[in-house]
Amino acid sequence: MTHEQSQKAREFLRYIGPGILITVGFIDPGNWASNMAAGADYGYQLLWMVTLSTIMLIILQHNVAHLGIVTGLCLSEAASIYLPAWLARPVLLSAVIAAIATSLAEVLGGAIALAMLFGIPIKIGAVLTAVFCSWLLWSNAYQKLEKLIIGFVSLIGLSFLIELSFVQIDWGQAAVGWVVPSIPDGAMLIIMSVLGAVVMPHNLFLHSEIIQSRQWNLEDETVIKKQLKYEFVDTLLSMGIGWAINSAMILIAAAVFFSHQVSVDELQQAQDMLKPLLGDGAAILFAIALFLAGIASTTTAGIAGGSIFAGMFKEPYNIKDQHSYTGVFLTYILSVLVIFLIDNPFEGLIYSQMALSVQLPWTIGIQVYLTSSYKVMGKYVNSTWTKIVLCSIGVIVAILNILLLKELLF
């Protein structure tokens, strides 16, 4: 490698990190539940939803990252500054509720993993997970968290690669499943939970917060252009990793459970089924990967909750600031309280992800408005083509929500 190539590589690595933090959000325990249910009940048929969701996610995250880079504001701050309070407040409050629903899934996943590994009761495990992640946020800077979470994501990815090597995949059916849309009878709840598990409202707020928190010089056009350039590579690479891991979850569930006509009702059951089929090693890997996913995603859910809450007061996220840490602790405390009230943890995971998909159109709406406003974005405002694509995504999500409502009511 020449000196020039080495310099470019180092420069590129300076901009890598925010996308990985976002990836954690859609390989979280909520995804595990949705993907295990999708693969166990429908085989390879719902893989297309992971593909569609990831494409939508790349476009949305790329767009909201531009808002953070160009304005130095997160999505919540920008909404509070540029939108009337009667519109911004209800949408941001619903986003806080979505962050709590997200945190519920993450904390619950960590607790389930602790139960698998050490026999710790779910409710005690939930408290331990929330307390540990609160400490992580209180004691670490962004850069330290990025390195820690990149390590977690790497280990999760490695765990699933090892798990995949244990099973027989019908790659022909999988290839069809990835690109051919199919909506089997009774599948809308799972489809919407997969959508909500991949395209998560809190991640849109989180990305705009993390990417501008590095405090690049917003007056320097060269710096802004470099960030815009490398951000897309970071987002594309990170979301691609997430697509692969989510796909692996469905592939494993299809190969292990659907092929044996076993429906998965809880993640512990999935681990128990892996033991006789794939051995103790696979079951332990499953539990360790779930624990890492729970810890990493609970941490980023806390940042998102703090960012949204602080943004309502037109402030950036800062864990030492009153509004930020209030948002973080509200996110964790309320999610743990809900866990104490629910009887079926697996159903809690599924419905929490569905709730995210219901809130999603509102977050997409304010994002499209803000990034399409010349007053907000200046010369970096959305092009007509970008507006059409973003609005199309919003319409697709709204239609899927209507189909879900129709299925639940009729």
For residues 116 and 120, give the distance between their C-alpha atoms in angstroms, rounded to a whole number.
8
Q: What pLDDT is attached to residue 404?
A: 73
Domain housing 213:
3-255+265-409
Helix axes 47-71, 18-25, angle to 10 degrees: 140
DSSP class of 98: H
For residues 28 and 199, give the distance between their C-alpha atoms in angstroms, rounded to a whole number.
12
CB atoms near residue 14 (< 10 Å):
11
- Does 56 reside within a domain? yes
Q: Is the pLDDT of residue 127 over 90?
A: yes
Cα 208 to chain centroid distance, Å, stands at: 14
The count of domains in the chain is 1
Q: What pLDDT is attached to residue 13?
A: 57
The band of 195, judged by pLDDT with boundaries at 50, 70 and 90, is confident
Q: Is the pLDDT of residue 267 over 70?
A: no
Residues 31 and 248: beta-carbon distance below 8 Å: no
For residue range 9-64, what is the model confidence (pLDDT) as tens digits? 565 556 666 667 677 766 766 677 788 888 989 999 999 999 998 999 899 988 99
Q: Is the pLDDT of residue 270 over 70?
A: no
Predicted TM-score of the model (pTM): 0.84
Q: What pLDDT is attached to residue 11?
A: 58
For residues 120 and 269, give the distance between their C-alpha atoms in angstroms, rounded to a whole number.
16
CB atoms near residue 67 (< 10 Å):
25
- Does 260 reside within a domain? no
Instruction: Look at 209-213, 276-280, 293-297 and tell me which has the smallest mean pLDDT.
Output: 276-280
Instruction: Look at 5-19, 227-241, 287-301 and tell me which has the smallest mean pLDDT.
Output: 5-19
Cα four-point dihedral sign 36, 40, 44, 49: negative
- Does 347 reside within a domain? yes
For residue range 362-380, what is the model confidence (pLDDT) as tens digits? 999 999 999 999 999 998 9
Give the CATH number of the domain where residue 80 resides.
1.20.1740.10
Q: What pLDDT is attached to residue 43?
A: 92
Cα four-point dihedral sign 322, 327, 332, 336: positive
Range with top average pLDDT, 25-34, 46-55, 138-147, 233-242: 46-55
Q: What is the DSSP string of 382-409?
A: PPHHHHHHHHHHHHHHHHHHHHHHHHHH
For residue range 54-85, what is the model confidence (pLDDT) as tens digits? 999 899 988 998 898 888 899 999 999 999 99
Cα four-point dihedral sign 27, 30, 33, 39: negative
* Residue carrying structure tokens 């390989």: 27
- Does 223 reside within a domain? yes
Mean pLDDT of the chain: 82
For residue range 349-360, what is the model confidence (pLDDT) as tens digits? 667 777 777 788
> Which parts of 259-383 fold into alpha helices (H)?
267-278, 280-311, 322-341, 345-371, 374-377
- Does 169 reside within a domain? yes
For residue range 306-334, what is the model confidence (pLDDT) as tens digits? 999 999 999 989 888 999 999 999 999 99
Better-predicted residue by pLDDT, 309 or 273: 309
Q: Which of 200, 255, 190, 248 is nearest to 46 (CA)?
A: 190
Q: List C-alpha distances in Å: 170 to 47, 166, 254, 305, 329.
A: 13, 13, 9, 40, 45
Q: Is the pLDDT of residue 113 over 80?
A: yes
Q: What pLDDT is attached to residue 121?
A: 93
